[in-house]
């Protein structure tokens, strides 16, 4: 059943990838109209994109960017098919798609580390990965990036997915499943540990990046669009970098306010939570690395990507490995 789910996901990714290409056009303001599909739903965590839009950074690059939202699998499929020029999915789904033949390129590794974590209560008796044997672990789906990481982490530590009990629980209920002791651990976003700790729940976590290279959201485009419109790709990532730079240099509160007013009004009253998480996690950890200090925001480490590609192939997520430099193009289409 689990193998079937991965095959089904692969077929979903591959369907519709006909090699057609989105053709940008100039609107009445003389700006190229381009769309981006973003993973999940609007959230203040996407503030660099929102800031780039509202402060005119995309406009200065000659772009009018329209934001849409979809699942990571749908994004990879649509970008590969040429239905939209840009996507902002989790990197794991991109690697899975490319490993199954979807013609996409990563042009900006926005999150230099993955968000994946195995989260458990401190009182659970879990201290190391091997302690997960026989435990019940919740995932959101067998096609989720976190399930992919769980499978690899277990195998890296002498276990297999058959050594644990897997329970599929929806995104909206998975955290409560841990709180209410329905499961021993959840494989989900490490950002939820902030939510749990602030609610008085003492939790710990195993971070995916402690066991393998992994990445969160990345900007992707199709091979065709990159070849035909490199200047638009450069403009997009240049504007995104400016949004990131503003936040990193201290404009976190402004960014959260823009997100609330223009994109995520439902966060009203919770602004400080997002300010704290963005300041502590994104500014200090996710958006920056030793690589970005040298090469700039969005840099992709080919060596680490290759390690992760080979791990996914070794664990049966696609048949044949592939060179990372066939997937990666450094920010803006620069070679």
Strand order in the sheet with 185-189: 165-168, 136-139, 185-189, 116-121, 203-207
Residues 109 and 233 in one domain: yes
User: What SS3 state is found at 161?
Assistant: helix
The DSSP code sequence of 271-288 is HHHHHHHIIIIIIIIIS-
Residues 138 and 201 in one domain: yes
Residues 220 and 93 in one domain: yes
CA gap 130, 162 in Å, rounded: 13
pLDDT at position 333 is 52
Domain containing residue 177: CATH number: 3.40.190.10
Tokens of 162: 């058959």
Q: What is the pLDDT of residues 30-69, one digit of tens each?
A: 999 999 999 999 999 999 999 999 999 999 999 999 999 9
Residues 108 and 9 in one domain: yes
Contact 239, 58 (CB under 8 A): yes
pLDDT at position 171 is 87
pLDDT at position 122 is 96
CA gap 103, 322 in Å, rounded: 13
Single out the residue in 146, 177, 210 at which a domain terminates: 210
Q: Is the pTM of this model over 0.95?
A: no
Residues of the chain with pLDDT under 50: 1-8, 10-13, 15-16, 18, 334-335
Tokens of 325: 């430099």
Tell me the residue range of the domain where 97 lies.
2-113+215-333
Contact 45, 255 (CB under 8 A): no
pLDDT at position 314 is 84
Residues 42 and 149 in one domain: no
């Amino acid at each position: 059943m689990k193998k079937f789910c991965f095959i089904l996901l692969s077929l979903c990714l591959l369907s519709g990838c006909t090699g057609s290409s989105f053709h940008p056009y100039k609107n009445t303001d003389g700006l190229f109209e381009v769309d981006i599909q973003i993973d999940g739903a609007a959230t203040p965590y996407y503030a660099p994109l929102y800031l780039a839009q509202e402060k005119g950074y995309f406009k200065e690059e000659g772009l009018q960017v329209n934001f849409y939202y979809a699942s990571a699998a749908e994004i990879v499929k649509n970008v590969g098919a040429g239905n939209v020029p840009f996507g902002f999915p989790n990197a794991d789904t991109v690697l899975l798609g490319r490993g199954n033949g979807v013609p996409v390129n990563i042009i900006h590794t926005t999150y230099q580390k993955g968000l994946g974590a195995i989260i458990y209560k401190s009182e659970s008796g879990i201290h190391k990965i091997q302690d997960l044997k026989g435990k019940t672990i919740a995932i959101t789906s067998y096609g989720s990036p976190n399930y992919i990481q769980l499978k690899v982490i277990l195998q890296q530590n002498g276990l297999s997915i058959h050594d644990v009990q897997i329970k599929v629980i929806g995104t909206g209920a998975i955290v409560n499943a841990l709180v209410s002791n329905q499961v021993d651990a959840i494989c989900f976003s490490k950002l939820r540990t902030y939510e749990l700790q602030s609610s008085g729940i003492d939790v710990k976590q195993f971070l995916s990046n402690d066991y393998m290279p992994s990445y969160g959201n990345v900007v992707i485009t199709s091979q065709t669009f990159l070849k035909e419109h490199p200047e638009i790709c450069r403009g997009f990532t240049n504007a995104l970098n400016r949004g990131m730079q503003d936040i990193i240099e201290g404009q976190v509160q402004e960014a959260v306010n823009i997100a609330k007013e223009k994109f995520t009004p439902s966060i009203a009253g919770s602004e400080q939570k997002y300010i704290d998480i963005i300041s502590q996690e994104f500014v200090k950890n996710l958006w920056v690395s030793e690589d970005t200090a040298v090469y700039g925001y969005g840099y992709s480490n080919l060596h680490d990507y290759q390690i992760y590609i080979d791990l996914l192939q070794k664990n049966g997520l696609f048949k044949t490995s592939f060179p990372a430099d066939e997937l990666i193009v450094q920010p803006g289409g620069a070679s």
